[in-house]
Structure 1
């Protein structure tokens, strides 16, 4: 673990040249989460009963008890690996990260989040490539080509914010595209393995909440992979409550989030909610 000075962290929008770094960080954060979710599903009573039934049927055709036991389990694991919604890092989302991240760098590249630990707001490094070209085209009065800006795709993809410490990306958090007025959904909170338990995750979430509050959002949802005691404790400390718990002032029932589901309809995430005041 490396000591991280939070006042040196600049939280900015992801740029095109950050995509590969962010993808690698997300992949690292995903390790272990998917396997825990698969184990959770495999150990559900209904799933165990189904596997036992299939094994009994296979035993009538196979002369090996081991094969009759292993084959259905192996096939189910492969099926879950292919179809399981990507619950990456602490937060989850059903959209695959490679599509999400690659679509999110377009937009206001110079945006930064407020860092309460910093006395002077940090400025991101100069924007390169397509964003600079877009500014030039706009100044010349030329319509921006479709290959540079795809507003609809960006809106669906949402935003990716990265924590930049002296040129090194040490964490990231994503906000999914606007689906309902006043409602936001945060996902894919990932902190580099060398910088965990330093308060960076809290800083990313709270700074993004502050921005969304200023833009008129009234409620934030977070999906925590099932089971994840660390993730649940993290969000409870930030003021989130499990959806449906006493103390959650739900206004409209139709606005409630539905947990992510997988094989046989098993819930693989818990929905946490926080009202922004």
Structure 2
């Protein structure tokens, strides 16, 4: 691990030239998550019963106990590898990360989140030698179609925010596009392995919550992979509660947010919620 000074971290919108770096961080953070989810599904009682039934039928044709046992498990693993959304990652999202990230750099790229550790009036300290002035491109024609397409893609893709420490991207968090009035969905919080347990995740989430609160959001959801005890503990420390658990003081209503599901309808994410009132 590398000691990180949070006062030098700039929380800003992802730029177009940051995309490949952000993809690499996401891939690093998602390693092993898919395999843990597959193991979780394979060990469910209903799934074990189904595999046992298929193996019993295959024994009548193959006359080989080992093959009859291995073939169903192997085919199911291949099926899950193909169908299980690779987008689940750390927090989960319904979009593939390469499409999601690739469409999220549009919009106002000079936006920043407040870093409370910064020494300059609560505002981020610019990265040394990396500050760049963004200039607006003049439209080449009066045709408004390209701009409309960009706005729609930006709205659908959401936003990606990165933690920039002296020009190096060390963490990122994604917020999906607005789907319901006053509701936000934070997904895929990833911190580079060299900078974990330094408070970067908390810094990004709390900064994004503060921004969304100012913009009128009243509730935030986060999806955590089912076997992820670390992710669950992290969000509980930030004041999130598991959706539907006893003791949650949220409004009693039919909530549209549902856990992600996979083979046989097994839940592969837990939904956490926090009110921003």
Fold match, TM over 0.5?
Answer: yes
Q: Which aligned pairs between 1:110-259 and structure 2 lie closer than 5 A?
A: 110-120=110-120, 121-122=123-124, 123=126, 125-126=131-132, 132=135, 135-137=136-138, 142=142, 146=146, 150-251=150-251, 253-259=253-259
Q: Could you say which residue in structure 1 is the equivalent of 2:49?
A: 49
Residue 244 of structure 1 and its aligned partner are, at CA, apart by 1.1
CA contact (8 A) 2:87 2:96 kept: no
Aligned to 2:10, the other structure's residue is in SS state: strand
Residue 157 of structure 1 and its aligned partner are, at CA, apart by 0.9
Q: Which moved more, 1:34-43 or 1:87-96?
A: 87-96
Cα deviation code 1:183-210 (max 9, x no counterpart): 0000000000000011110101000000
Residue 249 of structure 1 and its aligned partner are, at CA, apart by 2.9
Distance 1:2 1:144, change over 3 A: farther
Residue 88 of structure 1 and its aligned partner are, at CA, apart by 4.2
Aligned to 2:187, the other structure's residue is in SS state: strand
Q: TM-score, normalised by structure 1?
A: 0.92
Residue 143 of structure 1 and its aligned partner are, at CA, apart by 5.1
Q: What root-mean-square deviation, in Å, do the aligned CA atoms of Structure 1 and Structure 2 show? A: 1.9
Cα deviation code 1:136-194 (max 9, x no counterpart): 315x8855662896211221110000110010000000000000010000000000000
CA contact (8 A) 2:155 2:177 kept: yes
Residue ranges of structure 1 left out of the alignment (5+ in a row)? none
Residue ranges of structure 2 left out of the alignment (5+ in a row)? none
CA contact (8 A) 1:87 1:225 kept: no
CA distance in 2, matches of 1:204, 1:152: 25
CA contact (8 A) 1:160 1:175 kept: yes
CA contact (8 A) 2:250 2:275 kept: no
1:94 lines up with 2:100 in the alignment = no
1:73 lines up with 2:73 in the alignment = yes
Q: Could you say which residue in structure 2 is the equivalent of 1:16?
A: 16
Aligned to 1:247, the other structure's residue is in SS state: coil
Q: Could you say which residue in structure 1 is the equivalent of 2:262?
A: 262
CA contact (8 A) 1:218 1:275 kept: yes
Q: Could you say which residue in structure 2 is the equivalent of 1:38?
A: 38
Alignment size in residue pairs: 271
CA contact (8 A) 2:160 2:173 kept: yes
Cα deviation code 1:1-53 (max 9, x no counterpart): 10111111101111111111111111111101111100000000000010111
Q: TM-score, normalised by structure 2?
A: 0.92
CA distance in 1, matches of 2:108, 2:132: 13
CA contact (8 A) 2:170 2:195 kept: yes
Aligned to 1:255, the other structure's residue is in SS state: coil
